[in-house]
Amino acid sequence: MSRIVVLSGSPRENGNTDRLVDAFVKGAGDRNTVEVISVHDSKVAPCKGCNACYFSDGNVCAQKDDMQIIYGKLCRADVLIIASPVYFYGLSAQLKAVIDRLHTPMRSRFAIRKLGLILVGAAELPEMFDSIITQYRLVLDFFHLDDAGMVLACGAREKGEVREEDLEKAARLGQSII
């Protein structure tokens, strides 16, 4: 049984990203503990690059916001799933702020062994996910993480337009994590 944390970066409630995350959770929930963190509902300021976390006791960030809660959850997680809509070939700003705040020595305390990716975009361009996948692979290599898998859904602009086959892929990704 794995402890899975899903960082869901969609600002649109009950949108396509949320539907994919729900399908993932249903697939993973029988054999794992899954917690979804909606970063839109979290108050996380962008990193200031002050490096206070490198010099403070316990590597505590100088900013007092919900990131402290997220750090605690990541310290206990075995698997991290990043879920986001794709805006201009990148992750949502809300999720990017959280990811940038992981540039802290505290990350050495994370128990994460696997990383997965769930993306959804409105366009049907073959290269729509390329820049995010490149960053994802660099993170896998840098931290020596196992690739849990990816779900890449395109052609879903309006709420509810995510395809059933993509929801099934998300559920299968969840089921594959033991």
Average pLDDT of the residues of the chain = 95
- Tens of pLDDT, residues 56-65: 998 999 999 9
- Tens of pLDDT, residues 148-165: 999 999 999 999 999 999
- Tens of pLDDT, residues 31-72: 999 999 999 999 999 999 999 999 999 899 999 999 999 999
State the pLDDT at residue 126: 85
What's the average model confidence in pLDDT over 75-104?
A: 95
- Tens of pLDDT, residues 105-115: 989 999 999 99
State the pLDDT at residue 178: 83
What's the average model confidence in pLDDT over 71-96?
A: 96
Please enumerate in sequence order all residues whose Cβ is within 8 A of that of 132, keeping only pairs 6 or more positions apart, or say none.
84, 86, 89, 90, 91, 117, 119
Structure tokens at 93: 């700003």
Domains of the chain (ranges; CATH) run 3-176 (3.40.50.360)
Please enumerate in sequence order all residues whose Cβ is within 8 A of that of 161, keeping only pairs 6 or more positions apart, or say none.
16, 155
Report pTM.
0.95
